[in-house]
Structure 1
């Protein structure tokens, strides 16, 4: 449906207004709309507004501001020198503006227009850049560089405003050790061996040549885990991690008899797969009503294998059974009972939170309770059941990036100078994620304390702390705050995969006499801490060859 402009700016003939407008196209009858002569806060500025991601009321507001304060509000982007957009990702902007054209324009957020009109003159673009890939291009086109009126007094005033804004808004300089390398470090796979006993010494791509075989083994592994057979589940997990690193397709049992963790039982199953194209035990498990039910139950947040087995023993078989058992009304939970939980800071100095909001029951406090003091116990399960349709949807990479951008922008409004990394499966190259994990820090460790609480409160107050990140779909978001000296340990520890993390901890213990996890590195015999200043330095400290995140997929 085309945007209907407000009466105050309606200038479209009946014939023209009947035409449908494409997304991102401003519905004007001519290329430019000249301004009235009574306002000129932004003389010389020719603006183009991208409609995408703007509400009708926001569009009406921006159109009115632009028409009254700019030299021209353009229908064609080629005629503009400033593009105003709420889009924050290159891929999405390219749906509305060709990238080669976008690179020749200043691409700013709607806040730039609002703030500039309020200030009575064009503000510098640097604090309003919408597309970070175009930061340099946008800043270079600062509207303050030239006075359209040629008035030296105005020029001086604007320059003073620009310098004052720069001094007041420039975040503290981030030390180099908290930033990723300018040129990504490439893994030298020739120095790695797929026969190593440790997955932190093997290159494990997201999809390996023997992926189908690994998936068959994963069915058996999941069955063992659901039944509480942890040792057997670990054995199959190790076999899967070994298979994931084999760089060639297996064609015979003899090819892999010397590979770690592929014992007699596993080799016989590999042989069966090579002969028949499947593993009969995996097929039998997949068809088992018990496995299907336990898998279904354990997919609900808050239900682990033990609880899943208990529920099955009570005769429950479906999610409808679970809803009846827990007394859940899905529509009520989905519409009214969203939540925020913050984990207390650990002694090692990192924080974690899982964020949503509440439209009923009051604001959450920092202990993850409602204001009435009720503890979150089985409520987690009830809420997860109510949100299961949304939480069951995978999150595409572009949405993960958008969620990260939104949260980081809000965080830097609270505390400028923060550093962040999106971790988890996203960092390992997965095209879709179950949730979004973001690690944050600040160069000043005193700024990290309570930052998580402040961020969640801000997001809550702004109506953004919710699974509703776009299109009304709720997402799970984990926020991890680390002290700057352990930032890279946290990044590695939260990047996964599970077996990679397990093995790098084991390697640190076996080979280096050190304790390692996401909270830092200490020497075991005297608890001396080590503070690596890059992700690679962690590998160097342990005497390991560098393995980039996309080659740490040691699980299916």
Structure 2
């Protein structure tokens, strides 16, 4: 039975990032706007702390039970401690285990090792002031809703009342498969009020209230900027260089979106939301490569990149979910009302759409190309082998361009990063589909020269239908598993000897070292792996060894330099028994792959990895591919079937 939770806001306080992401995946009614929440879940135990958390997010309340001793304070007094000074441990306040989320993907994203407080600060980005007109027109709450001895979760209980509950209320409700009374979990209960401003506000303009239930667009969003240190140094003894403050993570308030009569008539004629967009996971719906709202999606992608560069991991996740939902919507959006009907799309996204519709651009997205700091960070981020965390480290050292990286940090770079800098401009050029196919055919020919019977699927952006790819990803497999074990070394050596590979930067035999078994499931308390080298793979630099005038050029100059561009190539080797998982794991967009893992975790209680599927109950391998008949694509289709998902063609997995 699906539980009908009211809108829930999750406080990031005292939660590790993995715990926060895991809980966000589990909460079906999660909102990133605290003004919409009826329940605020937190790893806190006192009323004072709850009030602080609400006020810091500009949600002002009055205690409807000022003389009541809340659950958390009572517990603290029982322990002989002051509730105000009580130390809260990480994790659930009842010390119940919280499963660490497996957010691994087949990409080179880095995890920011910096403190969790920095990562949590971005949650303030969705805080808003409630419209005075909305409050003025609201009836007072029923007094019985706040004094009942057993509080239940009826909708009327939460009319303009916010309850701060312990996280354990949610997890216990899931375990009991019913919404539990909140008395034993209640930290604070308050009525939402309008905080009087310290200065005379501008007079309110008369605004017609929306006709529909979704009146969230009448709220005003205020964003909290983040600022980095103002000075940095290139190296000891060099003159100090004054830097402009860091760009704020979120900069502009959400504007009220007026509606005209003609627009209201259009809203009444909107097409129904397709059934597949009532699903939670992007892997349950088709997402084409060229959606009708591509222009607006590109603006959202720019904002997502800004969030990534500014260490806003939760913001990245939220924008990714919104992008995937809009990309799956099969109609051209004409109003903000359509945005608000889509999963994971809130009033912030609707306001951005209105700005884009009115102006043809989004000012916040323009910052990626106009803000000097973001331009520099993005340049560093596009270096092969450099993620967002390392890009910020480069910037904090005072480096401002590739020349600085070479001059002041060359010896500190990894081999991959050095190659990324050396061939930076070449790696920025997209690889045409014909060239991708040519590279793949050469690799397959070498594989079959070593052992007959190899099969290959070109994966990544090429398989999703992109006209140009950043690199070439390919999965090879063979029905005889003795052939694939250790084969990655043989194929790389063959290609090197033939002059196709100029640099081998990574050569992983992790899968062969564990006898080609699916990656192990370490249990709920196990350490999370990277999820990147779960299969045998090679990360290489490729250069076409032939060009039209090669013979004449070498005859004239034996040291003539090969003029062909360098390309990035990933060669992945999978055992036959899990080749379908490998193809699936390397074919979807980032959000599609993330949601495949979340779906397996929460719906099937399995752990999905490109090396196979394991049960989270006992760690046993789950064979979804059942036998050796068919090719690698047929095996991928059996994985979809085993997961209980409708098969999606690769070009319908373009979640962005």
TM-score (normalizing by structure 2): 0.47
| Counterparts of 1:322 and 1:389, CA distance in 2 | 15
The secondary structure found in structure 1 opposite 2:305 is: helix
- Please give the alpha-carbon distance, in whole angstroms, between the structure 2 residues aligned to 1:241 and 1:298: 23
414-423 or 316-325, which deviates more = 316-325
Q: Where does residue 204 of structure 1 map in the other structure?
A: 287
Aligned residue for 1:454? 490
1:195–1:258: 8 Å Cα contact kept in structure 2? no
Give the Cα separation in 2 of the matches to 1:479 and 1:418. 13
Partner of 1:480 in structure 2? 572
The answer as to 2:406 corresponding to 1:305 is no
Shift in Å at residue 268 of structure 1? Answer: 1.6
Q: Does 1:216 align with 2:317?
A: no
Matches within 5 A, 1:130-145: none
Residue of structure 1 equivalent to 2:644: 543
Q: Which residue of 2 aligns with 1:255?
A: 338
Pairing 1:388–2:480 present: no
CA distance 1:192–1:539, change in 2 (3 Å): farther
**How many angstroms does 1:265 deviate by?**
1.5
* 1:325-404 equivalence runs, <5 A: 325-327=408-410, 378-404=414-440
Secondary structure of the 1:420 match is strand
Matches of residues 163-182 of structure 1 in structure 2 within 5 Å?
Answer: none
1:377 to partner: Cα distance:
5.6
1:497 is matched with 589
State the match for 1:436 in structure 2.
Answer: 472
Distance 1:468 1:286 in 2: 31
Asked whether the equivalents of residues 339 and 346 of structure 2 are also in contact (C-alpha less than 8 Å), the reply is no
SS of the equivalent of 1:403 reads: helix
Question: Could you say what secondary structure the match of 1:429 adopts?
Answer: coil
Does the 8 Å CA contact 2:586/2:610 hold for their aligned counterparts? yes
Q: Is the 8 A contact 1:326 1:382 kept in 2?
A: no
Residue pair 2:339, 2:349 contacting (<8 A) in 1 also: no
2:322 pairs with 1:239? yes
Q: 1:191 to 1:418 in 2, by over 3 A?
A: farther
Displacement of 1:230 in angstroms is 0.4
Report the 3-state secondary structure (helix = DSSP H, G, I; strand = E; otherwise coil) of the residue aligned with 1:490: helix
Contact 1:428 1:495 in 2 (8 A): yes
Select the residue among 501, 520, 523 that pairs with 2:615: 523
Are the equivalent residues in 2 in contact too, given 1:225–1:305 (CA < 8 A)? yes
Distance 1:451 1:531 in 2: 23
Moved more, 191-200 or 427-436: 191-200
- The 1:457/1:192 distance shift into structure 2, 3 A limit, reads farther
Residue in structure 2 matched with residue 63 of structure 1 by the alignment: none
Per-residue displacement from partner, 1:460-482 (whole Å, max 9, x unpaired)?
11222232125522111101011
Residue 463 of structure 2 corresponds to residue 427 of structure 1: yes
Tell me, in whole angstroms, the C-alpha distance in 2 between the residues paired with 1:210 and 1:547. 21
Conserved in 2, the CA contact under 8 Å of 1:513 and 1:524?
Answer: yes
2:543 is paired with a residue of what secondary structure? coil
- Residue 208 of structure 2 is matched in structure 1 by none
CA distance in 2, matches of 1:389, 1:273: 31
Q: How far apart, CA to CA, are the structure 2 residues paired with 1:191 and 1:445?
A: 43
Q: Please say if 1:267 is aligned against 2:366.
A: no
Alignment partners' CA distance in 2, 1:191 and 1:481: 38
Counterparts of 1:84-163 in structure 2, within 5 Å, are none
Displacement after TM superposition at 1:494 (Å): 0.5
Please give the alpha-carbon distance, in whole angstroms, between the structure 2 residues aligned to 1:545 and 1:496: 14
Cα deviation, residue 531, structure 1: 2.7
Q: Name the SS of the counterpart of 1:481 in structure 2.
A: strand
Q: 1:420: how far off?
A: 1.0
Q: Encode CA deviations 1:431-472: one digit per residue, 9 max, x unaligned.
A: 011110110111111111111101111111122223212552
- Structure 2 distance, partners of 1:553, 1:253, is 23
Report if aligned partners of 2:578, 2:612 keep a CA contact under 8 Å in 1: yes
Distance 1:192 1:542 in 2: 19
Q: What is the aligned counterpart of 1:468 among 543, 560, 565?
A: 543
What's 2:379 paired with?
A: 296
Whether the 8 Å CA contact 1:390–1:473 is kept in 2: the answer is: yes
SS at match of 2:277: coil
User: CA-atom RMSD, angstroms?
Assistant: 1.8
Query: How far does residue 327 in structure 1 lie from its aligned partner after superposition?
Result: 4.2
Counterpart-to-counterpart distance in 1, 2:397 and 2:450: 49
User: 1-side partners of 2:356 and 2:396: how far apart?
Assistant: 33
Distance in 1 between residues matched to 2:598 and 2:587, nearest whole Å: 17
Give 3-state SS (helix, strand or coil) of 2:567's partner: coil
**C-alpha deviation, 1:422, in angstroms:** 0.5
- Secondary structure at the aligned position of 1:437 is classed as strand
List 4+ stretches of structure 1 deviating above 3 A: none
Q: Provide the secondary structure at the position in 1 that maps to 2:323.
A: helix
* CA shift for structure 1 position 314: 2.4
Look up the match of 2:453.
Answer: 417
Instruction: Determine the structure 2 residue equivalent to 1:76.
Output: none
Distance 1:401 1:499, change over 3 A: same
Give the Cα separation in 2 of the matches to 1:285 and 1:420. Answer: 38
By how many angstroms is 1:258 displaced?
2.1
8 Å Cα contact 1:194-1:246 kept in structure 2:
yes
1:109-135, CA deviations, whole angstroms, 9 ceiling, x for partnerless residues?
A: xxxxxxxxxxxxxxxxxxxxxxxxxxx
Q: Following TM superposition, by how much is the alpha carbon of 1:218 offset from its aligned partner in structure 2, in angstroms?
A: 0.8
What is the TM-score when the length of structure 1 is the normalising length?
A: 0.55
Q: 1:191 Cα shift?
A: 8.7
Q: Is the 8 A contact 1:195 1:242 kept in 2?
A: no
Q: Secondary structure at the match of 2:290?
A: coil
Structure 1 portions without partners, runs of 5+: 1-189, 329-375
Larger deviation: 197-206 or 464-473?
464-473
Q: What residue in structure 1 maps to residue 33 of structure 2? A: none
CA contact (8 A) 2:302 2:368 kept: yes
